[in-house]
A and B are shown apart, each in its own frame.
Chain A
């Protein structure tokens, strides 16, 4: 599959945007401006960017908390994302939710519930609806390696496979679940083996190679759209920060981090673009400048945004308000 030059540039843009936006969030966190915690996808950005960029506009995603790239690629603006972290009214959820607990149906992004793998069956359900209605749409969902140990993960795989649903499941296998290394998480070597029990085809891809993730996703979506059923895609990568920004991750051997640092997804993409003449130094610089400006603007916007009114806490519980229910 050939990937167009413009697509490559966009992938690079979103990789950089994801990395730098989260770095800015970390810095806001260190300044004490973020209430609550901050998590980043540092080192694993190629996964969320790659798989979401391969989707069509009408497709939907049910992401997890290391999927910042998904929100950005789908079109949720950095302004609204930073405002979300700062608990402002202009944030994606108007202050009701914080940080990566982002969702906006207008962009085909289902909200992320903290409970890992909860979104897997939900994605299967969206795919079921597409199948029932005969629509050529797909659903994509992801979780961490730890999340694949949960029952909901397994129930979703089985359900989707039995019904041949147009859903693609991703695993951000970044070697650790908080402090728990892969070998304490599962007795198998590749997470992808999990899909065997459900007769679901799987792929293993270099999660630090955004082009590879993009391509393998595109193929899987194509199959799903053609009625050939779900695919499970394991993206191998490494979580380069602590579990959250307060965690120094002393339990991760430094050598492992050093080794993975050389395989940084942004570095990899830069080299790929330059070596193959897919981009010039100047074009990359222009993209970097755009990223920088967007983030500056987002931070300024968020910091100048108002907080919601306390009373808004009790608004918006029901989609059908109680007065309406009485007359239904």
Chain B
């Protein structure tokens, strides 16, 4: 197995799926000749041609709608949003057309929307957002958000082969920072399965995306104080793998929900609600949430640092919770 980065894993998955299945094609702004703003589709235009790696006009609603249409007649389009933030321009097509096609009239809509998301890159309010909550509230979509190269590759393949619209949240901060050995053969990671990335006994940290790495670091810092974290990487946000989450809660009896999105009304709130509804009796303390505050993402470094959940925040919360 070769060690590759998160961005290389996504590139590989796309490449292999394009080779495997002629109905897979890519569309978006600057994905062709340029190879994508983050170089995810580098070399694909040359290999697969301009119609399968399609440079579109600057029109998210237009090309997302077009992807939906192509999928209805048998294609498997992969849409690239240049930044997840611009997905808002395609909101209507995603939440009203793609998400409801199958339920309303049986129209299968196997599209994947790749959404480079997340902060810590000094991008400001329009190049840093975590918009998963907007779509988490929309029945009919599947949402995945891998934290590791191997998961990114396997989940993207699963997303492309899935018959429903999937939004693939790829974290920009991880693109070139995370390396891992990734199988070179064809494999998929099933959508809807969380993974325990670290076993532990005292507190379950339920998290996803870049925050998985924050949790891992916090766990190291907590070794001295003898607090052992079990880290659950959700990997898929919708449908949520309740079983894995609940099993972990039953084991540790204490929970931190850690996420980079803004605090209110999103994935974190739902995880907390599910736990208190269904496994309340196993809890020995309050469910703590660590998240970004309810504001846009600020630009200036001290403000962005304050805004994003930090390793110390996790350490502090774990120490507080351990006392119960």
Contacts and interface: CB of A to CB of B under 8 A. Distances in A.
A35 interface: yes
Interface of A: 35-37, 87-89, 91, 93, 95-99, 101, 113-116, 146-147, 149-152, 177-180, 184-186, 251, 307-314, 317
A62 to B, nearest CB: 15
Interface of B: 29-30, 33-34, 37, 55, 57-62, 82-83, 85-86, 88-89, 121-127, 293-296, 298-307
B34 A36 contact: no
Given A151-B62, A178-B29, A310 B303 contact: yes
A114 B126 contact: yes
Given A35-B299, A178-B37, A151 B306 contact: no
Contact of B300 (A96, A114, A177, A185): A96
A82 B1 CA distance: 48
Contacts of A308: 300, 302-303
B241 to A, nearest CB: 32
A261 to B, nearest CB: 23
7 contacts: A95-B303, A113-B126, A149-B59, A179-B33, A184-B55, A185-B57, A310-B307
A99 B294 CA distance: 23
Which residue, of A146, A178, A313, has the highest number of chain B Cβ atoms within 10 A? A313
Given A313-B295, A314-B293, A314-B295, A98 B59 contact: no
Contacts of A116: 58
A113 B82 CA distance: 15
A36 B122 CA distance: 5
A185 B58 contact: yes
B33 A251 contact: yes
Contacts of A152: 89
B301 A307 contact: yes
Contacts of A113: 126
B61 A36 contact: no
A15 B58 CA distance: 29
Interface majority SS on A: helix, strand, loop or mixed?
loop
A179 B53 CA distance: 14
Contacts of B122: 35-36, 87, 98
A47 to B, nearest CB: 18
A177 B56 CA distance: 11
Nearest to A116: B58
A251 B55 CA distance: 13
A93 B126 CA distance: 15
A151 B61 contact: yes
A184 B51 CA distance: 12
A177 B57 CA distance: 9
Nearest to B57: A149
Contact of A149 (B62, B295, B306): B62
Given A178-B29, A180-B30, A310 B58 contact: no
B182 to A, nearest CB: 27
Given A35-B299, A87-B301, A146-B57, A101 B30 contact: no
Contact of B30 (A91, A147, A179): A179
Which residue, of B58, B300, B303, B306, has the highest number of chain A Cβ atoms within 10 A? B300
A177 B58 contact: yes
Contact of A36 (B82, B299, B303): B299
Contacts of B88: 115
A304 to B, nearest CB: 16
Given A97-B298, A310-B306, A313-B298, 17 more contacts: A35-B122, A37-B123, A87-B300, A95-B298, A96-B296, A96-B298, A97-B124, A98-B300, A99-B124, A149-B59, A178-B37, A179-B30, A179-B33, A307-B302, A310-B302, A310-B305, A312-B303
A309 B299 contact: no
A185 B62 CA distance: 12
Contacts of B121: 36
A307 B293 CA distance: 20
A146 B89 CA distance: 14
B302 A317 contact: no
A83 to B, nearest CB: 10
A98 B299 contact: yes
A4 B230 CA distance: 73
Contacts of A36: 121-124, 127, 299
Given A97-B124, A150-B89, A178-B30, A184 B298 contact: no
Nearest to B297: A313
Contact of A88 (B58, B85, B300): B300
Which residue, of B59, B294, B295, B305, has the highest number of chain A Cβ atoms within 10 A? B59
A101 B299 CA distance: 10
Nearest to B124: A98
Contacts of B58: 116, 146-147, 149-150, 177, 180, 185
Q: Which 8 A-B pairs have the closest CB atoms?
A: A95-B300, A310-B306, A114-B126, A179-B34, A87-B300, A98-B299, A36-B122, A146-B58
